[in-house]
Structure 1
Amino acid sequence: MSMNRRALLAAATAAPLLPRLASAQTRWQMATAYPEANFHTRNIQSFLADLNTAGIGVQLHANAALLPQGQIKRGVQTGQVQLGEILLSAYGNEDAFLEVDSIPALVSNYADAKRLSDLAKPYVEARLNRQGISLLYMTPWPPGGFYSNAPLASLESLRGTKFRTFNVMTNRFATLIGASPTLVQQAELPQAFATGVVNAMATSAQTGVDTQAWDYCRVFTPVGFTFTRNAIMVQKRAFDALPAATQAAIRAAAAAAETRGWRMSEEATASTEATLRQRGLTIGQATPELMEGMRRISAQMTEEWISRTGEDGQKLIAAYRA
């Protein structure tokens, strides 16, 4: 048989396979609750560009356009989307272990936050794996502070406020300081403040910029409240169906995204506080009384968290404190 004839036969044999090959490369979907300008979302866009290079095309649905925050994890589990980003601590009702980064003032800087994140990672991976989800990477929000309409001399200044919460731990914090906790998702913050549903909160300067906090608050007081983490995850079934080389490429892209995300978070701390100041918010200075109150609440909430998480929680905190 001539070379040309063999080539023609090979092409004829391969031709019927092309539609099936194309259909096997179905475009993945990803959901996140955060706007496109947010550094988390910008980091995801770079991550997805790397995935595209590896042969995985992903359509990103940002700003809760496809799924609200509370439905994204379930969406990944069921295959409604293959990829999703969640605030880990928002799922504390399912598993208290996911709340460790929401213990106020447990960590005070990025180095400690990264150490805690690395120590907690195997526990988080095991929990998600049992639910059909594979963890790809985690990145932190910039450290949180208090948003209020008057300077804060101490935590006592927040007593009686309608305090916005976004997870179990912020709800507990509000209760301990004598405030009235009210669950409000990020996208609903401007309306909640405008209508008087809430009048104070603790969150990052990044969230303040995302929601234009200058329209509804006057003072931002950085206190290193928490370094809560977002987790980017993939449906395990969809991931396991990929060739080994593609899986490895995705893992490599995820590792790069995690490193990049931590750097972007640090950079966002200064830039977003500067934006708040430029837009008219007063950047308050935390008083010694305010920080002493934070340490006191932190100690109590850490012990409560350990009591809820049992042996795993004890091991993690012991390793972190070692």
Structure 2
Amino acid sequence: MKKLTSALVFSSLLSTSAFADKWHMPTPYGDGNLPTQIAYSFAAEIKEKTGGDLDITVHSGGSLVKHTEIPKAVKSGQVQMGEVFMGILGNEDPIFKHDNIPFLATSYDEAKQLWEAAKPAVEKQLDKSGMKLLYTVAWPAQSLYTEMPVEQLSDLSGAKMRAYSPSTSRLADLMGTTPTTIQVPDIPQAFSTGIIQAMITSPSTGVDSQAWDYVNYYTDVKAWIPKNIVVVNKRAFGRLDKETKRIVLEAAKHAQEQSWSKVAERADKDTALLVENGMNVSEPSEKLISELQTIGETMISEWKAEDPKEVGAILDRYNP
């Protein structure tokens, strides 16, 4: 039934896109997550201000397109827009890895500065792929979920670690763990069946997947602050009239502002929910932080070596 529904939605796109009145926006995250809530608000603002002339349907939780397929779907025009975790594009170009590097930016102020440094290069690469950047949504800082207490990296030796981007796979290697690709909807089953024993992700993802049902420990390492990007197919955007384009870009600006203003509050709220539901939430030991910072330095060097000119320019512009 799901395949049939998706097929029907896709078959309708050709008949609607020419009039730009009914658009589809897949997002990989569930309705309880801040990025999805912002997406709904973004779509509602556009519908209201265009008098319903542009109606965007948000398909949450990977219900229409799987996460890894969303960029391709937007590029090809299969859907007009979509939301994706930027780090999964790291194999396409190293500039998409900038916010997946441990300890490069660990506060929200630093993350904003890093984004401003990287934004021109990101927009350039998206443009080459036939996509236009609309807005970003920051996640709370990424921390460590485990089945056992972790005071140093050797405590994780041999464990299978969830990976969800090229950078997190490399991080898992450097931590002495085995990277295992798991998308958000599959996290609970992966832990319960022993496919993974650890992951680094946000408190929001932990709450959304009810991490207390399958892990006991949350070590608040605050390793990095990643982002989602919301992109639109350039051809679809180009077919809009001037006023509708203005409304879309204005709504995107509001969505971006909402993202950065609410992310810290959401992080605190979701961390408190982890505690409330019985998880052992603790600050990392000095040894663990030192080991992770050393890995971060290694990953920064490796990242720069992938594209010394472009990555070097980002690092030069970034001055926290």
TM over 0.5: yes
What letter is aligned with 2:171?
Answer: F
| DSSP-derived class of the 1:24 partner | coil
What letter is aligned with 2:160?
Answer: K
Q: CA deviation at 1:83?
A: 1.2
Tell me if 1:42 matches 2:37. yes
| DSSP-derived class of the 2:318 partner | helix
What letter is aligned with 1:66?
Answer: L
Out of 145, 153, 163, the position equivalent to 2:151 is: 153
Q: TM-score, normalised by structure 2?
A: 0.92
Tell me if 1:266 matches 2:264. yes
1-structure distance, mates of 2:17, 2:252: 25
* Aligned counterparts, 1:92-131, within 5 A: 92-131=90-129
2-structure distance, mates of 1:314, 1:22: 40
Q: CA deviation at 1:78?
A: 1.2
Which of structures 1 and 2 has the bigger CA Rg? 1
Q: TM-score, normalised by structure 1?
A: 0.91
What letter is aligned with 1:95?
Answer: D
What letter is aligned with 2:167?
Answer: M
2-structure distance, mates of 1:57, 1:142: 30
Paired residue for 1:136? 134
Q: CA deviation at 1:310?
A: 2.3
2-structure distance, mates of 1:184, 1:166: 6
State the 4+ residue runs in structure 1 displaced beyond 6 angstroms: 20-23
Instruction: Give unmatched runs, 5+ long, in structure 2.
Output: 1-14
Q: CA deviation at 1:23?
A: 7.5
What letter is aligned with 1:173?
Answer: L
Paired residue for 1:218? 216
1-structure distance, mates of 2:154, 2:46: 49
What letter is aligned with 2:93?
Answer: D
Paired residue for 2:236? 238
Tell me if the contact between 2:117 and 2:315 (Cα under 8 Å) persists in the aligned partners: no
Tell me if 1:294 matches 2:292. yes
Paired residue for 1:180? 178
1-structure distance, mates of 2:79, 2:308: 33
2-structure distance, mates of 1:21, 1:276: 43
1-structure distance, mates of 2:319, 2:19: 48
Paired residue for 2:164? 166
Q: How many aligned positions are there?
A: 303
What letter is aligned with 2:34?
Answer: F
What letter is aligned with 2:314?
Answer: L
CA root-mean-square deviation: 1.6
**Residues 146-172 of structure 1, C-alpha deviation per residue, up to 9 Å, x if partnerless?**
001222111222221111111111111
Quick one: percent identity of the two aligned structures?
33
Paired residue for 1:24? 19
Q: CA deviation at 1:26?
A: 2.8
Tell me if 1:57 matches 2:52. no
Tell me if 1:194 matches 2:174. no
| DSSP-derived class of the 1:196 partner | coil
2-structure distance, mates of 1:138, 1:190: 27
| DSSP-derived class of the 1:117 partner | helix
1-structure distance, mates of 2:192, 2:142: 21
What letter is aligned with 1:221?
Answer: T
2-structure distance, mates of 1:203, 1:270: 14
Paired residue for 1:4? none
